[in-house]
Amino acid sequence: MLEIKQLNKTYGKNRALTDVDLHVPKGVIFGLLGPNGAGKSTLIRIINQIIDADSGEIQINGKKLAPDHISQIGYLPEERGLYKKMKVWDQMLYFAQLKGMSKAESKSRINAWLGKMDMLSWREKKVEDLSKGMAQKVQFISTILHEPALLILDEPFSGFDPVNAEIIKDEILELKEKGTTVILSTHRMESVELLCDQVAMINKSCKILDGSIREVKSSYRPNIFHVTLEDLQAPLPSAWKAVEDGGLWHFSLALDGKTPNELLAELMQMGQVARFQEKIPSMEDIFIHQVKNRDYEIEHV
Amino acid sequence: MNKIWLVIQREYLSRVKKKSFLLATLLTPLIFPAIMGIFIWIAVNEKENQSLRIIEVVDENNLFFMESSDQYAFSFSDRSVEEAKELVQIGDRYGFLLIPKIDLEDPQGITYYGEENPNMNLISYLESSLRKKIEDQRLYDSGIDPQILSEIRTSVDVTAITLDEEGGERVSDATVNYAIGFLAGILIYMFIFIYGNQIMQGVIEEKSSRIVEILVSSLKPFQLMMGKIVGIAGVGLTQLLIWIVLIGTLTTVVTGFLGMQMPQQQAMEMAQADMGEAVPNGELGEILAVIQGIDFVTLVGAFVFYFLGGYLLYGALFAGIGSAVDAPSDAQQFMLPVTIPLIVAYMGLFVFVLQDPNSTTSFWLSIVPLTSPIAMMGRISYGVPFWELFLSMGLLILGFLATTWLAGKIYRIGILMHGTKPSYKTLWKWIKTSN
């Protein structure tokens, strides 16, 4: 769907993107992660053709990114707003037409969406009279009215209460079912784990990892196992810092070059193995670890 | 192109539909004739109701005679100064003029006493009457017959005819030309300021509410900027059109109601009086002849051209400024380079162009694009050679293209910049950045 090769962008002396490659398959929810100022917004703006890259190539469905693609992309920026004095209906119509839809089609789709979201009574209201959550919903619908093949959402859940966030989450999943490719840029790792099929992480203008969530997690697993033993044959080494709880001994062990099976075999001789489970890192752990590590490397190279 | 049209529509409709637009558009032309009507009504009433003011004259020379006017009557007596002063104090007389024994070659000591401060009209009336009398007396003393003297007095009125290149003639009148230049120049000046500010506010609104990020993902920043400028120009033209129709209708109604001759003429005279010019004593017919002599096609054509040209030139600059700042209060620092040429044009209109439309300064003011929309309108009714008009128009188009290009460069970067207060240096950097 979206193919990005060797993308570079600098602002004066600041590098915003350095040789970024990205491959987003069709119909996935793709998490774009990274701390503030990493270059995510720049990347998103370049895909939206708001700014131009210095070098590199972007292709959508095998075709070089061009103004024609605007009607196939939907974009919900992190910093977003609506015309305060405009009515909900007029505003949606304006945004839809700017994306290249005909007036008649825009109208019928707006009606359908307002009905679906239980918002028909807001049609003639001005945006300034809406609550923040309502305005966010209007904004979300405006973003997807033209049924984009590629939907770019920058922090879509910020400003939503949990109930509305859930509604939006369901809508995103529904769009995915219909074949929409979604790029989700966020800091909220719990929504990444919940929604995303694939992720890429950008830090200090460079892509530092990408892949499916499972791949990323497994390649960043720390090779540590959580173990619980009963009926000990002998006292455990004190270095393992085992904690006893009613005859059960809990501790964590690193593989140290052994295979999990070898480690398990050793443990079986020490007692009854009640639990032997690999520690799987959360995306949050990986995110923090990666960002800190890179910062450390950059400071010490 | 289609998208620019959408932006134009939105900018136009969102403003025209506002109640404040309707109010301003309807009230302004109501207010002006209303004020004018009230003034005329008061003036008429005052003249009718004013009681005659009697001024006591004590002439120790037994020489002077003052002619009474509508407002003032003069009573001559040989009362003493004290008695005359008392008459004023008890309110029997409006004022008291003392002419002591004077030397006609060097008249000194003529004094006016009054309970209230005398107005300029009265004093100049007194002065001119006295001067005339003294002059007559001195001419008489030197042996000239008063009969001959009164025969010599002549009234002169110069009719100005402008010759055009084909040898045609038309009656022109400096006063009417002045009024046209004055009105057209001021109208363009106000239009640029009011609507230029609307452009700036609109850009700042889109930027600070972050709508712009969504908009520029759908269309090019330049399209957005041009759509806004053109849409707001439409609002201005609509307003102008409504005003012309309304003022036309209203003045006809007011004229009919008051049974007076053409308030427009009054308005011109008022404007003239403000400028310290002599009030024209032209008859209605003469003025009509002059107005008929004006080439309205050129005048209206030029007005619309300079109206739009000036607006587009400055409108682009206003859009550029709006894009560079986060809030209207930050815009002040960049307003100066835009305001100064406008004020120069405005001042130049009064100081140079209307005084001498063909001077070198007037010429340059009407050629340079930043000042030409206002200055050329001050010259045009006096007649401007075609090559000058075309040069000025051509340069205005170039100027407009240049400011639009410049503003576009600032705009496309400015609208995405938040939280930084740019300096002129940053703006220059943005202009130089290629993408």
Q: Do B209 and A142 lie within an 8 Å CB cutoff?
A: no
Residue where the block lists tokens 């209201």: A125
Identify the pLDDT of residue B185.
Answer: 87
Q: In what order do the strands lie in the sheet with B95-99?
A: B72-77, B53-59, B95-99, B111-114
Cβ distance A79 to B14 less than 8 Å, yes or no, reads no
* pLDDT computed for residue B166 by the predictor: 60
Mean pLDDT of chain A, nearest integer: 87
Residue B10 near chain A (CB below 8 Å): yes
**pLDDT at B279 (0 to 100):** 39
Q: Using N-to-C axis directions, what is the helix angle for B221-258 and B386-414, rounded to 10°?
A: 130
Confidence of residue B26 (pLDDT cuts 50, 70, 90): confident
Residues in chain A within 8 Å Cβ distance of B18: 85
Residues A149 and A74: their CA atoms lie apart, in Å, by 8
Mean pLDDT, residues A183-197 taken together: 86
Chain A residues in contact with B205 by the CB 8 A cut-off are 83
Per CB-CB distance under 8 Å, the chain B contacts of A70 are 217-219
pLDDT at B278: 40
Mutation site for A-interface testing, chosen from B208, B217, B223 by largest number of A Cβ within 10 Å:
B217
Enter the tokens of residue A42: 């720049």
A99–B contact, CB cutoff 8 A: yes
Cβ–Cβ gap A142/B219 under 8 Å: no
DSSP string, chain A: -EEEEEEEEEETTEEEEEEEEEEE-TT-EEEEE--TTSSHHHHHHHHTTSS--SEEEEEETTEE--GGGGGGEEEE-SS----TTSBHHHHHHHHHHHTT--HHHHHHHHHHHHHHTT-GGGTT-BGGGS-HHHHHHHHHHHHHTT--SEEEEESTTTT--HHHHHHHHHHHHHHHHTT-EEEEE-S-HHHHHHH-SEEEEEETTEEEEEEEHHHHHHHT---EEEEEEES-SSPPPGGG--EEETTEEEEEEE-TT--HHHHHHHHHHHSEEEEEEEPPPPHHHHHHHHHHHHHHHHHH-
pLDDT on residue B171: 59
Percent of chain B topping pLDDT 70? 83
Interface contact flag, A98 B209, Cβ < 8 Å: no
Residue-range domain boundaries for chain B: 52-118, 184-233+282-432
* Residue B181 confidence (pLDDT): 83
pLDDT of residue B65 exceeding 80: no
Separation between Cα atoms, residue B404 and residue B196, nearest integer Å: 13
Distance from CA of A261 to the nearest CA of B (A): 54
Which chain B residues are Cβ-neighbours of A52 within 8 angstroms?
Answer: 435
What distances in angstroms separate CA A209 from CA A253, A294, B139, B240, B258, one per listed residue? 26, 12, 111, 61, 85
Whose CA is closest to A119, among A164, A71, A56, A165?
A164
* pLDDT given for residue B231 in this prediction: 95
Contact B435 A52 (CB under 8 A): yes
| pLDDT band, residue A231 (cuts 50/70/90) | confident
Contacts of B14 in chain A (CB under 8 A): 83, 85-86
Determine, for residues B6 and A81 on separate chains, whether the beta-carbon distance falls below 8 Å.
Answer: no
Share of chain A above pLDDT 90, in %: 34
Residue B210 to residue A48, Cβ atoms within 8 A = no
More confident of the two residues A192 and B285: A192
B194: distance to nearest CA of chain A, Å?
20
More confident residue, B50 or A10: A10
The answer to whether A274 and A250 have CB atoms below 8 angstroms apart is no
Of A51, A73, A83, the CB nearest to B211: A83
**Binning pLDDT at 50, 70 and 90, where does residue B276 land?**
very low
Comparing A51-65, A80-94, A100-114, A223-237, the range with the smallest average pLDDT is A223-237
Partner-chain contact B209 A45, CB within 8 Å: no
End-to-end CA distance of chain B: 21
Task: Report percent pLDDT > 90 for chain B.
Answer: 25
Q: Does A10 touch chain B (CB under 8 A)?
A: no
pLDDT given at position B170: 59
Q: Which of A245-254, B174-183, B239-248 has the highest mean pLDDT?
A: A245-254
Sequence-distant (≥ 6) Cβ neighbours of residue B417 within 8 angstroms: B324
Per-residue pLDDT at A151: 94
> B219 — contact with chain A (CB < 8 Å)?
yes
Give the relative orientation of helices B263-274 and B221-258 as an angle to the nearest 10 degrees. Answer: 110
Domains of chain A, CATH where assigned: 2-84+143-218 (3.40.50.300), 222-278 (no CATH)
Asked if A86 reaches chain B (Cβ–Cβ under 8 Å), the answer is yes
Q: What pLDDT shows up at residue B294?
A: 65
pLDDT of residue B48: 67
**Alpha helices, DSSP H only, in B259-283?**
263-274
Does the pLDDT of residue B327 top 60, yes or no? yes
Under the banding of pLDDT at 50, 70 and 90, the label for residue B273 is very low
Nearest-Cα distance to chain A for B434, in Å, is: 10
Report residue B197's pLDDT band, with 50, 70 and 90 as the boundaries. very high
pLDDT band at A103; cut points 50, 70, 90: very high
Any CB–CB contact under 8 A between A97 and chain B? yes
Q: CB-based contact (8 Å) between B214 and chain A? A: yes
User: Looking at the partner chain, which of B6, B214, B429 has a beta carbon nearest the beta carbon of A75?
Assistant: B214
Which secondary structure element, helix H or strand E, spans residue B300, and what is its range? helix B296-324
Name the fold adopted by B52-118.
Answer: D-Maltodextrin-Binding Protein; domain 2 (3.40.190)
| pTM given for the model | 0.74
Chain B residues near residue A95 by CB distance under 8 angstroms: 214, 218
Measured between beta carbons, the chain B residues lying within 8 angstroms of A94 are 6, 10
pLDDT tens-digit profile of B142-178? 888 778 877 777 777 777 666 666 666 655 666 777 8
Residue range B198-215: mean pLDDT, rounded: 91
% of chain A exceeding 70 in pLDDT: 97
ipTM: 0.81
Taking the C-alpha atoms of residue B347 and residue A229, their distance in angstroms, rounded to an integer, is 95
Chain A positions in Cβ-Cβ contact with residue B215 (cut-off 8 Å): 98
Rounded mean pLDDT of B336-359? 89
B217 touches chain A (CB under 8 A): yes
Chain A / chain B CB contacts < 8 angstroms: 57
**Which sign, positive or negative, has the C-alpha torsion B17, B23, B26, B28?**
negative
CA distances A60 to A54, A183, B41, B102, Å, are 18, 13, 75, 104
**Mean of per-residue pLDDT scores for chain B:** 81
- Provide CB contacts within 8 A for A19, sequence distance 6+: A6, A7, A8, A56, A206
Q: How far apart are the CA of B253 and the nearest CA of chain A, in angstroms?
A: 38
Q: Among all residues of chain B, which has the CA nearest to that of A45?
A: B217
Question: In this predicted structure, what is the pLDDT of residue B67?
Answer: 77
